[in-house]
Every structure is written in C-alpha cells, then in structure tokens.
Structure 1
Amino acid sequence: MNRAVALRIAACGLMGLGAALLIAALLLSTYTEGKIAKIPLNVDATLVSEGTGTAFDPDSLNRDRFVVDRDVPLALQEQMTVEAPSNADVVTLQVGSTLRRTDRQQDDGLLLALVDTVTVNRSTAEAVSSESNPGGAVQKPRAIEDDQPPTNIALPHEGLAYRFPFDTEKKSYSVFDPIAQKAFDANYDGEEDINGLTTYKFSQNVGYDADGKLVEPVKYASLFDDDADSQVTARASMWGVPGNPEEPITMTRYYAAQRSFWVDPVSGTVVKKDEHAYHYYAREPLEPEVTFVDYKVTFDEETVESQVASASDERDRVALWGRVLPITFTALGLVTLVGGALLGSFSLRAESALIDPGLDEADHGFFDTQGFQVPGAEAKTEKIPAPRPSDLPPDRPV
C-alpha cells in the first residue's frame, strides 16, 4: 500500500468519525436529554421543618377540659422513598409525614401522622393513574401495638406531588394536598437566591385568601372507619363552651394551610418550603372554637443545604448530557470533518503526482524539496555536440 492510498483511507476515517460525532451531538441534545431529565429512581430524602405554634395537649384527654398550649416547639418530618411501580416513565414516591411537639418524648408529642403514596410522571411530576394503580393512596392509621401489615386506602391524586417539573416555568401549577385530598394552585411569586441557587418561589393557599384570611376551610377527611378524629362529641365543659357543662357538643374538624415553595427551575427540586397549617374544631366552618394545632415551620438549614446539593447534582447531570457533551461533540466533529477533507485533498494530490510526475511542477510542488535542490538529482543536463572533421586543425589526425 503506497502512501497516497493510506492517506485516503485515513481521510475517510476522519470524516466518518466527524459525522458520527455530529450525529451523537444531535441525539444528545434531543433524544438523550429527554431521557436524562427525569426524577431519579433512587430518591431517599429526610426533610425536616422546625418552628413553633399552638398545639393541643394530648394529656388533657384525661382531664376535665381540653388544654391548648401556646408557643410550643414543633418539628415536621417528611421521609421520602421510592416504591413500586417505578420504571423508565414513572416513579412511585412514598412520603411518611409526622408533626411532633419536641417538648414531649416519643409518641406523647405526636400530633399528626400520614403516609402518602403517589405515582408521578418522571419528567412532569404529574400524578398518573391506571387501572391497577389509582394514582395514589394513604395508609390507614394503626395503633402502636398493632403488628398487622399496613392497609392502604386508595386516594386518586391530581396535579403535582412533592416535586415540580423539569424546566419549571413562571406560571401557576396545581399541587396536591394529601390532607385536604385535593389539588390547589401554587402561584408564581418571583425569583429568590437560596444558598447561591436561583429559585422560583410559588405560594399556595388552602382555605385562605391571598391576605391570609380564613375563607373556605376544608372539612378534615378522617382515615378512621368511624371518623373518630373528624367529628368529636364531648361535654360542653370539656370544650370550654358556655352553658350547661354536661350538654354534649359535637364539633367538626377543619383544616386550612398556606405554603411557599422555593423550586430549582432546572430539576424541579423543592429546595426550601415554609408551611403554615391550621387544624381546629368548630360548629361553624368560619368560627374556630378549639385549636388542635396551628403552626408555622420551615426547612431547617441542614435540609436546605441537602436539597440545594441534590438540585445541583441533577443540574450538573442534565447540563453534562444536554449541553456540555453536545457542544464538545459538535466542535470535535467539525474539526475532524475539516481535517478529513484537507487530508483527502492532500491524498488526491499525492496520488496524482505519483501517477504523472509532470503534474507536480511549479503549480503543485508535492515532491518539491521546500526550495532546496539536491545536486544531480533533478539537474537538467546539456549535451555538447562532437566536432565535425572539417572543423579539426589540418595537422591533427582524425
């Protein structure tokens, strides 16, 4: 194999590699990015919010009157894990939430507990349903001594759940509230910097208006068969209601809440959340009489740092496959294509020169020695004619 053929093969290889790199860049920026920008299947997060509020004293159930304490330290914990079914398109999130009085030990301070399960689209974070999966469920409460497996109650979800979509937009989203068992709008409320990360802030009102006034509280949906915690009948003296102290009074539990979400717009991760929730008993929805719990909590610093780090990791993953690699492959592909084209042109000239050396004159110069002439190698010789006899001197023999 001569040198010209080898150069031509190398040129074809370079151009093929360049074309492959450009195709790879196109696929990464379109198809592959859509496959990468999804909620991970290994979500395992503990979100802790802390604050204070007014809370019912469980010990007062055995007293003559219900007691409500003020300025109680409270902690809301959410444990988020992935369950089946989870695949390339959907992920099932199970979130166990507990609200505790931190001034009490263990279960003595437990005020609220809920295990919510929802299947969401991994790209849009929207709840999805099918014949075998209604889109969500909540776990039926169990007694502490109950050793039977938990029982789920089907609860179809709608809207977003626990995440926002990738490429979150500056608009309103419908976000599901598992306590109210329905979705409410979360409205865009501006940009804010959270630990160096630019986030979108969204505000949601459940039963409140934009000014924080109670306007349409939600009747609490009990998970007990007998609605034990949604309607309570007790003596008037227990409720602290004026009148006959022995008169049985039935009150209904209502719920309202306000939330603010700070969301990473690239990954849809909620990096910070403030929550104000109000559970109370009343005979009329808009006339609270006995507070069960009224609290305001926000993500603690450790949770915010963890969520910001998680969002940054997802940002980097999406950027790598959706921007960095496509740009790199495009640049390398163009350089390789140009290099292959130049090498191909060079090989054609070399092959032409080998076939017809006369083509390699001043206009080509492929075999030129860069201005240095080799003595005798390419020097043109001149023939000297032999003298004729008539030209010889008379005294010189032929």
Structure 2
Amino acid sequence: MRKVLGWLLLFLGGFLLVVAVLGWTWLPDAAKRTPLNVDTYTYLTGEADKLNPATGEVENVPVAYQSHTVVDPDKSDDDVVAFVNTKCINIDENDPPDCLEGDDPRLIQNSIDTFATDRHTAMAVDDAKYLAADAVPHEGLVNKWPFDAEKKTYPYWDGTLGYAVDAVYQGTQDIDGLETYEYAVDVPETEAEILEGTQGTYAHTENLWVDPVTGSIIKQEGTQTLKLPSGDLVLDIAVVYTDETVQTNVDDAKASISQLNLLTKVVPWVALVAGLLSLGGGFLLLRRRNEPGAPAQEEAPTGAAV
C-alpha cells in the first residue's frame, strides 16, 4: 500500500509541476485575449450646439448617447474577434428611447460600424474573412487597448477621418481604487466628409482612461465640431461617460484583474508548492520502504490445511 501511495504522490507532483510551468508560460498568453462573449452597452451624456434644419438656427440641446458593442460569433475565431457597434445620439428631451427612428426631430445621429481586431494586440484587422462586405477598413485601436497597455502613444481609429490618429499617453489616474492610464487625442480642424455627401471641416478632442491590465476603456470624454465649408456650424458636441457606466467599467475591470491574477499568479505558485510537497512525500514513502531494516511485506503461508 505504501508503494502505491508513493507512486501516486510522484505522479501527482509531476502533474502539478507541469501545471505550474504552464501557468507561467502558456496560460498568460491564453488568458489575455479579448473574450468572444462581449455584449456591452455604454452610455454618455452631455450637450451640443446643433443646427436645427427646420429653422436654420443653432440651438443648445442636452444629449443622450448610447453605444452598443457585440461580438459577431460567426466571423470570430481563436485569433480575431469581429464586432458590430451601434451608436445612437439623441437630443435628451421628453425621455427619448435609447435609439430613435429617422423621422424623430430629437435624432442627432444613428450609425452602425463593423470591424475586427486581434484578440491579443487589440489592433484592427483588415481581412475580408472577418468583415461584412460593405465594412470600412479600420486601422489602429478601435474599442479597447491591448492587455498590459504601455505608457506610450498608440494609433487610435477615427471614423470620421477614416484613419488612425495619435492617442498620446498623459499620465495615471486613480478611479475608484483602479489605476488607469490616460491618453489624449487632439485632431485640429481638418477637411472631411462631415455628413453623407457633404464636405466640411472636422475637429475632435478625446481623453480616454484605460485599465492597463485588461486594456478596457474605463472612462471617456470628448468633443467634436462639424462645420460647413462656409464656416457655419453644423454640430459642436461634448459628451462624457455617465457615472453609472464608469462604475460598471471599474467593477468589471477589477473582476477581470482578479481572475487574471488567480490564473497567472496564484495557481502556478500553489501548483509548484503542492507539486514539490507531493514529490517529497512520494520519495520518502518509496525510500522508507527500501531502507534496510524496514519491515518486509508478509507473505501468505503455503501448504495450509483445508
């Protein structure tokens, strides 16, 4: 029995040491990937100076902004995740629904964007395999930063311009006990298609606070200004994540960080210690059995009478 238990402990110890090695080598890369079950709603609030097409006057209005991002499982795989993002921006009057129909005068803008990103780097992937037939090619970061984000400048997708702009690292900020990295985008007045078929000028500023461990965007605020070639204002909007959205993002990031720490830090060390103890116990049992003077296993008597 001692021999069997010794070999079992040796086998268990070897297995646990393999788990520890995998926990330090393979598991971090496997765990730090954008999940394939993303289905998130983000809410922003703010105000805008907006041209009223009915009166020709610029009006200051409160704004409600919803962004819904969901994974397209049919176009995603182990390396790349495909997303569908729907944005609805409304004048926040008379308690409008999150998304309005096209003939509602409170509607500012509705849009749908499809894109794909690398599950490790979070960079856009321009491959028809992952995109809808009419998808606009993206570049840079789109909806998150990479895991283990760095204190550096990243390329960040600007949908109005149709190319990536610089998101410049600014510093760190604590948000409800979570350390975040702040990045800033500053697009000066630039010629662009401000409405479908209408050229004008576009300016944009944006600040993003990112959890560096998971790469998730915790807080975001920005401005956008659209003008006609004549210089007449079409839209000047400023929005920021609602407090509820920020709190949800903080809670989700903390939960994800705890899971990553468990998988990549706690599990390997526990497996290492348990593995070494198991190996030690197995060797001791087998060695003790083979030591001189150890009691021999009793044999059944032969020739016993029936």
Is the CA contact (8 Å cut-off) linking 2:9 and 2:282 kept in structure 1? yes
Q: Determine the structure 2 residue equivalent to 1:374.
A: none
Which of 212, 216, 219 is equivalent to 2:192? 219
- Alignment coverage as a number of residue pairs: 288
For 1:193, the aligned partner's letter is: D
Consecutive unaligned residues of structure 2, counting only runs of 5 or more, are 297-306
Q: Does 1:31 align with 2:26?
A: yes
Is the CA contact (8 Å cut-off) linking 1:180 and 1:221 kept in structure 2? no
Is the CA contact (8 Å cut-off) linking 1:45 and 1:79 kept in structure 2? yes
For 1:78, the aligned partner's letter is: S
Is the CA contact (8 Å cut-off) linking 2:288 and 2:294 kept in structure 1? no
Q: Does 1:80 align with 2:69?
A: yes
Q: Does 1:190 align with 2:190?
A: no
Which of 330, 338, 356 is equivalent to 2:272? 330
Aligned pairs for 1:170-319 (under 5 A) are 170-206=151-187, 208=188, 214=189, 217-220=190-193, 222-223=195-196, 227=197, 230=198, 252-283=199-230, 289-319=231-261
Larger Rg: 1
Q: Determine the structure 2 residue equivalent to 1:163.
A: 144
**What is the deviation of 1:103?**
2.8
**What is the deviation of 1:352?**
4.1
SS of structure 2 residue aligned to 1:320 = helix
**What is the deviation of 1:153?**
2.9
Q: Does 1:130 align with 2:119?
A: no
Which of 14, 17, 37 is equivalent to 1:22? 17
Structure 2 length-normalised TM: 0.88
Q: Determine the structure 2 residue equivalent to 1:41.
A: 36
Partner deviation per Cα, 1:219-246 (whole Å, 9 max, x = no partner): 12654xxx1xx1xxxxxxxxxxxxxxxx
- Take 2:128 and 2:163, find their aligned partners in 1: how far apart are those partners? 20
- Take 2:128 and 2:229, find their aligned partners in 1: how far apart are those partners? 39
Q: Determine the structure 2 residue equivalent to 1:115.
A: 112
Partner deviation per Cα, 1:245-288 (whole Å, 9 max, x = no partner): xxxxxxx42211111111111111001001111111124xxxxx
Q: Which has the bigger relative contact order, CA under 8 A and spacing at least 6? A: 2
User: Judging changes above 3 Å, is the alpha-carbon distance between structure 1 residues 153 and 296 closer, same or farther for their aligned structure 2 residues?
Assistant: same
Runs of 4 or more, structure 1, over 3 Å off, are 351-355
For 1:320, the aligned partner's letter is: L
SS of structure 2 residue aligned to 1:108 = coil
Structure 1 length-normalised TM: 0.68
**What is the deviation of 1:186?**
0.5
- Take 2:110 and 2:128, find their aligned partners in 1: how far apart are those partners? 28
- Take 2:78 and 2:140, find their aligned partners in 1: how far apart are those partners? 20
- Take 1:273 and 1:69, find their aligned partners in 2: how far apart are those partners? 25
- Take 2:23 and 2:134, find their aligned partners in 1: how far apart are those partners? 42
For 2:62, the aligned partner's letter is: P
Q: Does 1:353 align with 2:294?
A: yes
**What is the deviation of 1:131?**
4.4
Looking at secondary structure, tell me which structure has more strand per residue.
2
Is the CA contact (8 Å cut-off) linking 2:223 and 2:237 kept in structure 1? yes
User: Judging changes above 3 Å, is the alpha-carbon distance between structure 1 residues 218 and 320 closer, same or farther for their aligned structure 2 residues?
Assistant: farther
SS of structure 1 residue aligned to 2:75 = coil
SS of structure 2 residue aligned to 1:220 = strand
Is the CA contact (8 Å cut-off) linking 2:160 and 2:194 kept in structure 1? yes
Percent identical: 31
For 2:63, the aligned partner's letter is: L
